Chains A and B, each alone.
Chain A
């Protein structure tokens, strides 16, 4: 029983963390058909900015988080203006932007490496203590991550469903030309989606680094998992991605306990292969077109 609670607790934390790193990726893909390969580097950048603001500048943790969101949001905007926008009209947009963002990701990672060095650094934004239920220890930090992730996802759902920007994002994703004919300034919507995705990446990066520490290439693994979750859910499907992230988090926690850490990634990939054989367009995806 205790084991089960422990697995569920750490699985939910993992899943919530994956969900936050995945929704940014899914949002951008759903809107622009753009696979942002720099997303992982943005996670790392967010973690480092928060660390720098708190440890070096001595700012309040909330300011650290805000700084990270602003910096990563701005970088997202730069990625749109410098790479995505000029390529938008071209026939091979999806391939071109995929390759371009790999390059941008490498640049960001190397800037981090030059500025802050290769040594692992602990993330100062970290709660101490734990919630003890019987023999089960659930660190406060895990609870914080879970709470923030749930709050963020609820906020994003509200934004997409009820705000003017959210309606414009969904309309643009479902039919770009029709959205233009309704008066939506599509380029502006895309720019905001990239900025939003960057800010979400920052939060995700802070969460991940608070558990496993900061490293310039720390974004690689979560980015890969976020990509896998997107594919399983159906590329571009934001709500599906959240559900898939939580299921995969629980699965990972269970595999780690039952079979050991080294099998968890292999099992994850096995599951993805099985899902894609069964439903090639993802669990929640529609054939061909995937929408928000």
Chain B
């Protein structure tokens, strides 16, 4: 299977501060890939670089055979990469339903608004209950669901989730990950950034450990769990 998303030795950063150095990664269609690693080592920057929010300083990114480096963020969304950002970044003064509809802003997604909305409500029934509530008044868990639901509204071929468990109580994390497993079973291509390796490693087809802007280890999830040394060194687990 050829890779849907392919990063070749990319570098990226903010001004003189280079966060990523020579990162390469292939994401196969229909698979779940997890980027793990300690905080502040470039996981979020990696997703932001793929989305075009952080300029590349080196390397190449291609998606479905097409180079992404010269595209604006909105063109990258249109190409099929959906990014659910860290901290949700909802539209705080819009209702839940308006937030979801913003997810289907692009014409292709807007055409399928009805059907997608039904899918999202089936997957995240809580959102249907809260549909007219203003986003800024939601609880943390509900906000996370709106963020993910809004991403699903966009459709796309690759779904990138930045720390979907961040700041949530364990029971809510379980709920969010149940949704992710369900999407994986349905054949979606997903790239998840997660600090807690144990949470995701056994389910992911591929795990990449990002340390200090470089991949320190890449391999299958099950393999990682069998290597306590790596877990201990990088993740303190």
Contact A180 B91 (CB under 8 A): no
The verdict on A185 contacting chain B, using a C-beta distance below 8 Å, is yes
Q: Is A4 an interface position by the 8 A CB rule?
A: no
Chain A 264-292 interface 0/1 with B at a Cβ cutoff of 8 Å (1 = within):
00000000000000000000000000011
Contact call A178/B74, Cβ cutoff below 8 A = no
B92 within 8 A of A: yes
Judged by a CB distance under 8 angstroms, whether A171 is at the interface is yes
B72 with A182: CB separation less than 8 A = no
**Do A183 and B91 have beta carbons less than 8 Å apart?**
no
**Interface stretch (choices B100-108, B111-119, B198-206):** B100-108
Among B77, B85, B92, B98, the residue within 8 A (CB) of A177 is B85
Verify A291–B77 contact, CB threshold 8 A: no
Number of residues of chain A lying within 8 A (CB) of chain B: 19
Cα separation A291 to B105 with both chains bound (whole Å)? 20
CB pair A171–B94 under 8 Å, yes or no, is yes
Residue contact A167 to B92, C-beta cutoff 8 Å: no
Q: Is B89 an interface residue (CB 8 A)?
A: yes
Contacts of B82 in A (CB 8 A): 181
Please report the C-alpha to C-alpha distance between residue A248 and residue B94 in the assembled complex, in whole angstroms: 29
Does residue A175 face the partner (Cβ distance < 8 Å to B)? yes
- By secondary structure, the A interface counts as helix
Most chain B beta carbons < 10 A, residue from A167, A168, A175, A179: A175
Q: Would you call B165 an interface residue if the criterion is a C-beta within 8 Å of the partner chain's C-beta atoms?
A: no
Task: Encode A247-269 as 1/0 by CB contact (under 8 A) with B.
Answer: 00000000000000000000000
Contact in complex: B154, A175 (CB < 8 Å): no
- Residue of A174, A177, A182 near B105 (CB, 8 A) is A182
B78, B85, B91, B106: which has the most chain A beta carbons within 10 Å? B91
The verdict on A170 contacting chain B, using a C-beta distance below 8 Å, is yes
Q: Which residue in B74, B92, B101, B103 is a CB contact (below 8 Å) of A175?
A: B92
| Cβ contact of A181, chosen from B89, B92, B101, cutoff 8 A | B89
Within 8 Å CB of A174, what residues of B? 91-94
Given contacts A183-B74, A184-B74, contact A177 B89 (CB under 8 A): yes
Number of interface residues of B (CB under 8 A): 25
Question: Across the interface, do B105 and A168 meet the contact criterion of CB distance under 8 Å?
Answer: yes
Chain B, residue nearest A289 (CB)? B92
Residues of A125-177 at the interface with B, using a CB-CB cut-off of 8 Å, are 164, 167-168, 170-171, 174-175, 177
Q: A167-B105, A171-B102, A177-B53 are in contact. Are A183 and B90 (CB under 8 A)?
A: no
The answer on a CB contact under 8 Å between A181 and B94 is no
Q: Does B51 contact A (CB under 8 A)?
A: yes
Interface centre among B74, B106, B150 (most CB of A within 10 A): B74
A181 lies within 8 A of B51 (CB): yes
For B144, the chain A residues whose CB sits under 8 A away are: none
Contact of B73 among A170, A181, A292 (CB under 8 A): A181
Q: Residue B53 contacts which of A171, A180, A291, A292 (CB distance < 8 angstroms)?
A: A180
B143 to chain A, nearest CB (A): 12
A55 adjacent to chain B (CB < 8 Å): no
Q: How far is the CB of A147 from chain B (nearest CB, A)?
A: 30
A-contact 0/1 string along B53-64, CB 8 Å cutoff: 100000000000
A186 adjacent to chain B (CB < 8 Å)? yes
Let me know if B157 is at the binding interface, CB within 8 A.
no
Contact with A along B175-198 (1 / 0, CB 8 A): 000000000000000000000000
Minimal Cβ-Cβ distance residue in B for A186: B74
Contact, CB under 8 Å: A184 / B89: no
When C-beta atoms are compared, the residue in chain B nearest to A164 turns out to be B105
A interface, CB within 8 angstroms of B: 164, 167-168, 170-171, 174-175, 177-186, 291-292
7 smallest beta-carbon distances between A and B, as pairs = A183-B77, A178-B89, A183-B106, A180-B73, A174-B91, A185-B74, A182-B105
* A to B CB contacts below 8 Å, 25 in the list: A164-B105, A167-B102, A170-B91, A170-B94, A171-B91, A171-B105, A174-B91, A174-B94, A177-B53, A178-B89, A179-B91, A180-B53, A180-B73, A181-B89, A182-B154, A183-B74, A183-B77, A183-B105, A183-B106, A183-B109, A184-B74, A184-B105, A185-B72, A185-B74, A186-B74
Given contacts A178-B91, A181-B85, A183-B106, 14 further A-B contacts (CB under 8 A): A167-B98, A167-B101, A167-B102, A167-B105, A174-B93, A180-B53, A180-B73, A180-B77, A181-B83, A181-B89, A182-B102, A182-B106, A291-B93, A292-B93
Interface residues, chain B, with chain A CB atoms under 8 Å away: 51, 53, 72-74, 77-78, 82-83, 85, 89-94, 98, 101-103, 105-106, 109, 150, 154
